[in-house]
Amino acid sequence: MSMPYHNLGRTDLQVSAICLGTMTWGEQNSAAEAEAQMDYALESGVNFFDTAELYAIPPAAETYGRTEEIIGAWLRKTGRRNDIVLASKVCGPTGWCPHIRSGKARLDRKNIIAACEGSLKRLGTDYLDLYQTHWPDRNTNYFGKRGYLHAADDDAIAIEETLSALHELVTAGKVRHIGISNETPWGLMRHLQLADALTLPRVASIQNPYSLLNRSFEVGLAEIACREDVGLLAYSPLAFGVLSGKYINGQKPPSARLTLFGHYTRYSGELADQATAAYIAIAEKYALNPAQMALAFIRQQPFVTSTIIGATTMTQLIDNLASHTLELDQQCLSDLQQVQARYPNPCP
């Protein structure tokens, strides 16, 4: 079975059903390892690479922009720019990242233009196929926050200004299409409404977390994604690797993300552990690789355009890419749904 491709929103741009995530490059992965991943992914039918000015992760002044630099070096070395769909992101407010524009990054014109110019320079390209806002510039829920508490957004950058700045980049030929990330149903609909009313670029995609441990996208955003043709680019599909089963029973594999960076607790906790154990049991029941099962579940959802996978080893990359050939039958899907009913979205 060859790699499937889907249109990015209502554009004519075709992207692979699996997207290569890059955030570990320059921190957990060396440039040489990243180059090997890009070579293998491209040979395997993946034409979609996703990065961000923020990367590598965890964010730090020493590694800011390093991932884009690694991709840029590979592009210069291989000359494969026209063979890939290249996506990057501009940071939202960065008070927690003082190294990014002195901690004053916002989604206003000045910051968006500066961020895009920086990304283009590091990547060594004249244009981005997809440019996304990394998180909203207003008080709302993202990055695992529960319990929306409304507060005045007097200093929030208006979405109109954000779209206008992105429109400027599109008009200049520096960006082909735009997207959003870590957004809410209200945020997505507001972007679409303003684009229509003001003749500004239409959002082509939304990059939000989606996995067996976090299916909150289904509650409000999935219907919008389907009816408005704004497909999901699903990130953290393996919940920081938790759904691979490698952390089961308290295991801490050497060099694994949660072993190295214990402060990443979004997919940890008693309910997450119980749900994960139940999903691993289903994989064992059907003699499936747990990670491939989790990825196949996402790929089979009608609102998903592409699933973003990240890997720190070639073995992980090879296994994860192979998930595009796996089709889960109705009995397996029913079993997965029963676990979701017992442990509904344990990780926001």
Task: List the beta bridge partners of residue 5.
Answer: 16
**Measured CA angle at 327 (ends 325, 301), to 5 deg:** 105
Q: What is the 8-class DSSP label of residue 34?
A: H
Residues that are catalytic: 55
Q: Sign (positive/negative) of CA torsion 114, 305, 341, 264?
A: negative
- Angstrom distance (rounded) from CA 305 to CA 181: 14
- Of 18, 14, 2, 3, nearest to 306 by C-alpha is 18
Q: What angle do CA 214, 215, 220 make, to 5 degrees?
A: 130
DSSP 8-state secondary structure symbol assigned to residue 270: H
What is the rounded distance in angstroms from the CA atom of residue 100 to the CA atom of residue 112?
Answer: 12
Copy the structure tokens of residue 267. Answer: 């997919």
